[in-house]
Amino acid sequence: MRVVGIETEYGVTEPGNPAANPILLSSHLVQACRVWLGNSSTRWDYGGEDPLMDLRGMRRQRRYATADLLTDSPEYSDLNRGVTLRRRRGSWEDPAHLNAVLANGARFYVDHAHPEYSGPEVTSAHDAVVWDVAGDRIVLAAAAQMRAQGDDVALYKNNVDGKGASYGTHENYLVTRGVAFDDLARRLIPHLVSRQVVVGAGRVGIGTHGETPGFQISQRADYIETEVGLETTLRRPIVNTRDEPHADRRKWRRLHIITGDANSMEIPTYLKVGATSLVLSAVEADDDRLDVLALADPVAEVGAVSRDLTLRHRLRLASGEHATAVDIQRALLTIARDYASDAEDTRVLERWERVIDELGREPLAAHRDVEWVAKLRLFGRMRERYATVGTDGRSQVPTWDDDRLRAADLQWSELGSGLAARLSAAGAVERVVSDAQIEHAMTTPPSTTRAWLRGRMVSGRRDIVDAASWSTIVLDRDAEHGHLEVVALPDPHVNSHPLVDALLAQTGPARTHTRG
């Protein structure tokens, strides 16, 4: 079972007020989420975070770090000890309005100018979808709480603002540290470049500002500038090198993938996680069949694939041969078959093959499974509807820079009421999870990882939980002396801990949960 997780930064606006400060809106949303949770007071524990460590075996000096890398706190935990004591310090205090640790094991917080939901650790593609969509529902509940308090807000699950800015939907995969990083990057890059034909969300406009009329497959493609790198907001790489495992670094890496789109449909999220996890299994097994897929110029091919709606573009391989993105995905599917370990992997392979076959025959045939295809199909109908008759009597279809199409691109991803949500409600796209599963996941953590302990402690023992992080739970049981106990959870697979289990078995104050 590979531990995986998804982080989503949402676009945020205040309807009717284009000058609204997104940082303030984001902080108000997090605070509203705390109220929705019953005024949860659990803070985020920044101990142990070091975003300046690089998978290539170096650490960037702080003075050379970009703003997106400075997310750590001055104080660090020792994750090699089971329980440690930390004295409360003012410099370590986390502003409550910036973070909320959720009962489902997730984190909801302000990440620069965006509200971000970081889903809990899960062990299957199916569960990744469940807790990802649960995050959307939680954010909507927080927005409703804001409106009840007199503040309006609109949220978008996309990656571009149409003004040159891009924000991320990041995937995280636990990978064994035994694989040489250069091999990991080289063998994974062909998948990350080609998979957009399967999991891209689609975008109106070409170029970082959408300055060229057109429609493309991926929202993130125009913002990828290098093959590997540490940054996430500047010089964005295909493979991010941040070495912050949130686990025992002697055993694991946390591969942080930033090239993916935010998906409003479930199948792309399912395949994004499931297929990538299987390809990583092949990488960990040192499968040299992956080497023949190495690309000659990966960065250039990211944009070339995204802009070819026919899927006929032939990527140049390092060997001098050429292959389409669909060809590469089919080759990866063949390799991945040898690494299926359970029924869930088999289901991923079956769905992956079905989508590849649909795209290979006729891209538009994949409209129920592939988001960019569903969007292109719907927007094509809009263009026909908006067509006018010219002086020569011929139908004139609006070009892709038409403001109505740009607006529709934004409306596609609006949480709750967007075009994608309407298609799903109408049964026009495929799903992989049920509303009942999502409702359950809004308040319940996954039971197969340490998120089970984090979520249950945050909800059931808030009387003694001071803070939490991915790999720690900070307890405040010594109010007289002001000491805090840090329970270390360095193994993401472990869903049991003697002290935590004992504390959960004790009677704590009833958890209150209010909905705005």
Q: Of 197, 167, 213, give the one whose Cα is nearest residue 406.
A: 213
Who wins on pLDDT, 502 or 478?
502
Residue 131 has pLDDT above 80, yes or no: yes
CA distances from 89 to 75, 92, 93, 139, 484 (A): 9, 5, 7, 31, 10
Per-residue model confidence (pLDDT) at position 215: 98
Higher pLDDT, 251 or 66: 251
The fraction of the chain above a pLDDT of 70, given in percent, is 87
Per-residue pLDDT, averaged over 307-315, amounts to: 98
Is the per-residue pLDDT at 146 higher than 50?
A: yes
The pLDDT score that the predictor gives to residue 441 is 98
Mean pLDDT score, 474-491 = 85
Q: Which two tokens stand for residue 21?
A: 């400060």
Q: Which two tokens stand for residue 48?
A: 């142990």
Structural contact between residues 107 and 118, judged by C-beta atoms closer than 8 angstroms: yes
The H or E element spanning position 420 is: helix 419-425
E-strand ranges in 207-342 read 212-216, 226-229, 237-240, 252-257, 314-316, 322-324
Strand 226-229 to 114-118 pairing? unpaired
pLDDT of residue 513: 37
Q: pLDDT value at position 498? A: 96
* Nearest CA among 13, 106, 137 for reference residue 436: 137
Q: What is the mean pLDDT of residues 226-239?
A: 80
In angstroms, how far is CA 386 from the centroid of its own chain?
A: 35
On the question of pLDDT at 182 being above 50, the answer is: yes
Please tell me which residue, 59 or 226, carries the higher pLDDT value. Answer: 226
> Which are the contacts of 157, defined by CB distance < 8 A and separation ≥ 6?
8, 10, 11, 136, 169, 262, 263, 264, 413, 415
pLDDT in tens, 359-370: 999 999 999 999
Choosing from 45, 54, 72, 111, the catalytic residue is 111
- pLDDT tens-digit readout, 201-215: 999 999 999 999 999
The phi-psi region of residue 7 (left if phi > 0; otherwise alpha if psi is between -120 and 50; otherwise beta) is beta
- Comparing 197-206, 303-312, 369-378, 477-486, which segment has the lowest mean pLDDT? 477-486
d(CA 288, CA 265): 33
Cα–Cα distance, 126 to 446 (Å, whole number): 11
Is the predicted pLDDT of residue 64 greater than 80, yes or no? no
Mean pLDDT of the chain: 89
The arithmetic mean of pLDDT across residues 327-349, rounded, is 98
Give me the sign of the Cα torsion angle 163, 167, 169, 175: positive
Q: What percent of the chain has pLDDT over 90?
A: 76
pLDDT digits (tens, 9 = 90+) for 67-121: 554 454 333 333 333 455 444 443 344 555 689 999 999 999 998 889 999 999 9
Q: What pLDDT is recorded for position 74?
A: 33
Q: Is 111 a catalytic residue?
A: yes
Q: Which pTM does this prediction carry?
A: 0.90
- In the chain, count of helices (H) and strands (E)? 14, 23
Q: Is the pLDDT of residue 36 over 80?
A: yes
Q: What is residue 83's predicted lDDT score, i.e. its pLDDT?
A: 52
Q: Which residue has the higher pLDDT, 161 or 439?
A: 439
Q: What is the spatial distance between Cα 104 and Cα 454, in angstroms, rounded to a whole number? A: 8
Written as one letter, the residue type at 298 is: P
CA dihedral 110, 116, 120, 125 (to 10 degrees): -170
Render pLDDT for 375-412 as a digit per residue (tens, 0 to 9). Answer: 999 999 999 999 988 778 788 899 999 999 999 999 99
Which of 238, 10, 39 lies closest to 112 in space, CA to CA? Answer: 10
Indicate if the pLDDT at residue 510 is higher than 50: no
Would you say residue 172 has pLDDT above 50? yes
- The residue type at 23: I
Cβ atoms of residues 239 and 227 within 8 Å: yes
- Specify whether the CB–CB gap between 46 and 94 falls below 8 A: yes
Model pLDDT for residues 399-457, shown as the tens digit of each residue = 999 999 999 999 999 999 999 999 999 999 999 999 999 999 999 999 999 999 999 99
Distance CA 330, CA 353 (A): 8
Domains of the chain, CATH where assigned: 4-364+408-441 (3.30.590)
Measuring CA to CA, which residue among 231, 337, 220, 344 is closest to residue 287? 337
Q: Mean pLDDT over residues 190-198, rounded?
A: 98
What's the first-to-final CA gap in the chain, in angstroms? 37
Highest mean pLDDT among 220-234, 254-268, 468-482: 254-268
Evaluate if residue 41 carries a pLDDT over 90.
no
Q: Which of 370, 372, 382, 387 lies closest to 407, judged by CA? A: 382
Q: Are 359 and 197 in contact (CB under 8 A)?
A: yes
